[in-house]
Amino acid sequence: MSDPARPVAVLVGPPGAGKTTIGRKLARRLDVPFRDADHLIEDAEGRSIPDIFATGGEPEFRRIEERVIGETLESFEGVLSLGGGAVLSEATRHRLRGLKVVHLTIGVAEGVRRSRGPGRPLLAGGDATARYQALLTERSPLYREVAWTTVSSERRSSGKVVADIVDRLESGDPHPRRRGRRP
């Protein structure tokens, strides 16, 4: 029996970190397919994420998310971006072990700015900055737990972030290389 298929890279991080945008560009650059877990969930359920939250709440959404991610990780050989809360599942974190998981980071202010909109039920209404900070406080240790490497997307073009990730994937070294430095 051969080894199960493995994604080339899995992107994790908070809302607004650029997982979908960077994931698409990374997949194009590596000439592999791209999948976004949130879109896979909507396709599997035949309804939007806000609708899932409205009818079943976050617990139902997380159950569906865990199942869809588990199925995808078993057979997908491209670049996969996960929703910001996917790492809350212990089963998902276990499945991510040994994979090239790229943790995209971003600051609170930029994350809130990028995350405004109706498709973000956990940030809707009230003080979005306080809720975003609470999400980061809860999830950052989990992102670090599953990460093979960490890359900042704060104040960087998506092209530079992709080039940085490709460099690390191709070298097999999760640490950034120092460029242009003299000995």
Determine whether the annotation assigns residue 16 to a binding site: yes
Q: How far is CA 151 from the centre of its chain?
A: 12
Determine whether the annotation assigns residue 156 to a binding site: yes
The secondary structure of the chain as a DSSP string is -PPPP--SEEEE-STTS-HHHHHHHHHHHHT--EEEHHHHHHHHHTS-HHHHHHHHHHHHHHHHHHHHHHHHHHH--SEEE--TTGGG-HHHHHHHTTS-EEEEE--HHHHHHHH-STT-GGG-SS-HHHHHHHHHHHHHHHHHHH-SEEEE-TT--HHHHHHHHHHHHHHT--SPPP-S---
Determine whether the annotation assigns residue 84 to a binding site: yes
Determine whether the annotation assigns residue 20 to a binding site: yes
Determine whether the annotation assigns residue 139 to a binding site: yes
Determine whether the annotation assigns residue 18 to a binding site: yes
Determine whether the annotation assigns residue 113 to a binding site: no
Determine whether the annotation assigns residue 181 to a binding site: no
Confirm if 14 and 132 have CB atoms less than 8 A apart: yes
Sign of CA dihedral 103, 31, 25, 120: negative
Known binding positions for Mg(2+): 20
Known binding positions: 16-21, 38, 62, 84, 120, 139, 156
Known binding positions for ATP: 16-21, 120, 156
Known binding positions for substrate: 38, 62, 84, 139
